[in-house]
């Protein structure tokens, strides 16, 4: 019986020694994690505290204090990782890190850290949007209009108000470029997009109207009278009260007259007979048509 007691005592001593070693190892992991945090090696610190937590949990009740310390530290370290990414303008990485902070804070009941992470997300999303808008604006200023448009449209899908306001201007710039290159259909398409995207803004319509007028005149004077008539219809819908509609109708009618297409000439000239400047000319040509 005495021998059995001695054997049990030896086993208890060995278990106590082993337990002490486990606690010491867990404590050392936490200390190393703290040192890493102090040195701003946040990823290493997070991993260290997570390992220390697992080791402390394996020690049962004796590891309770260290467990609490690790559970307090882990969300805070995760927040430091998120802020580091945000400060480096890695907004996607920062947002992903904030989601991890929320998960860890919720898991370990870190209420203050959880609230801070949730408050930060909208601000970071705004910072990300501002940065992306600046990149898109730089493309626009460099004349890379299609790339800029794609970038602004992506921002629009995310609800970026600045991008929504900018898109009509980009379309007008595209329209102006196409007009100068003689790509009138492309210019008109871009003009229509500008007006649609602006929600019918008067300022956008004014610039758009001037581009369409130019396209009508250019088409009419280069013999593309069908296109001129099509563009005229677009201008009439875009700006029904445009004071130049009569002049433009006369231009198209006179061009048809020169092309000896009297039927079309008559139709267009009749639209111009009440124009204060060219009405008399329109009537004169109409009287010449037999």
Closest CA to 154 of 138, 169, 141, 166: 166
Helix residue spans in 60-201 (DSSP H): 64-87, 91-107, 111-141, 145-157, 161-180, 184-198
Look at residue 142 in the predicted model and tell me its pLDDT.
Answer: 96
First vs last Cα of the chain: how many Å apart?
Answer: 139
Interior CA angle at 62 toward 15 and 77, to 5°?
125
Q: What is the pLDDT of residue 71?
A: 93
Encoded tokens for 152: 């602004």
pTM of the model: 0.76
Q: What's 181-248 look like in SS3?
A: CCCHHHHHHHHHHHHHHHCCCHHHHHHHHHHHHHHHHHHHHCCCHHHHHHHHHHHHHHCCCCCCHHHH
- The pLDDT score that the predictor gives to residue 25 is 84
Cα gap 147→181, rounded to integer Å? 19
Positive or negative, the CA dihedral 159, 154, 150, 212 is negative
Tens of pLDDT, residue by residue over 31-89, are 888 999 999 999 999 999 999 899 889 888 888 898 889 999 999 999 999 999 999 99
Give me the pLDDT at residue 19, please. 57
The answer to whether residue 235 scores a pLDDT higher than 50 is yes
DSSP secondary-structure letter at 62?
A: G
Structure tokens at 29: 């992991």
Distance of alpha carbon 153 from alpha carbon 133, whole angstroms: 10
pLDDT of residue 63: 82
DSSP 160: -
Q: Residue 217 is encoded by which pair of tokens?
A: 């005149």
């Amino acid at each position: 019986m005495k021998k059995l007691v001695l054997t049990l005592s030896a086993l208890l001593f060995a278990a106590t020694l082993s337990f002490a070693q486990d606690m010491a190892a867990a404590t050392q992991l936490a200390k190393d994690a703290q040192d890493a945090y102090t040195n701003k090696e946040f990823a290493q610190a997070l991993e260290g505290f997570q390992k220390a937590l697992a080791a402390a949990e394996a020690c049962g009740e004796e590891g309770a204090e260290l467990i609490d310390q690790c559970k307090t530290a882990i969300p805070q370290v995760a927040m430091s990782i998120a802020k580091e990414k945000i400060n480096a303008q890695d907004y996607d990485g920062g947002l992903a890190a904030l989601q991890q902070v929320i998960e860890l804070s919720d898991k370990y009941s870190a209420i203050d850290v959880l609230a801070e992470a949730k408050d930060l997300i909208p601000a970071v999303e705004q910072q990300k949007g501002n940065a992306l808008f600046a990149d898109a604006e730089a493309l626009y200023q460099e004349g890379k209009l299609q790339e800029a448009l794609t970038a602004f449209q992506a921002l629009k899908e995310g609800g970026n108000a600045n991008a929504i306001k900018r898109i009509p201007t980009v379309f007008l710039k595209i329209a102006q470029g196409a007009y100068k290159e003689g790509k009138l259909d492309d210019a008109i398409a871009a003009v229509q997009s500008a007006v649609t995207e602006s929600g019918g803004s008067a300022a956008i319509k004014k610039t758009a109207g001037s581009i369409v007028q130019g396209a009508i005149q250019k088409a009419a004077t280069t013999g593309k009278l069908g296109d001129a008539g099509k563009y005229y219809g677009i201008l009439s819908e875009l700006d029904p009260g445009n004071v130049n509609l009569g002049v433009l109708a006369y231009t198209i009618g006179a061009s048809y007259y020169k092309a000896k297409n009297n039927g079309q000439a008559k139709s267009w000239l009749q639209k111009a007979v009440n124009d204060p400047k060219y009405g008399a000319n329109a009537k004169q040509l109409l009287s010449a048509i037999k």
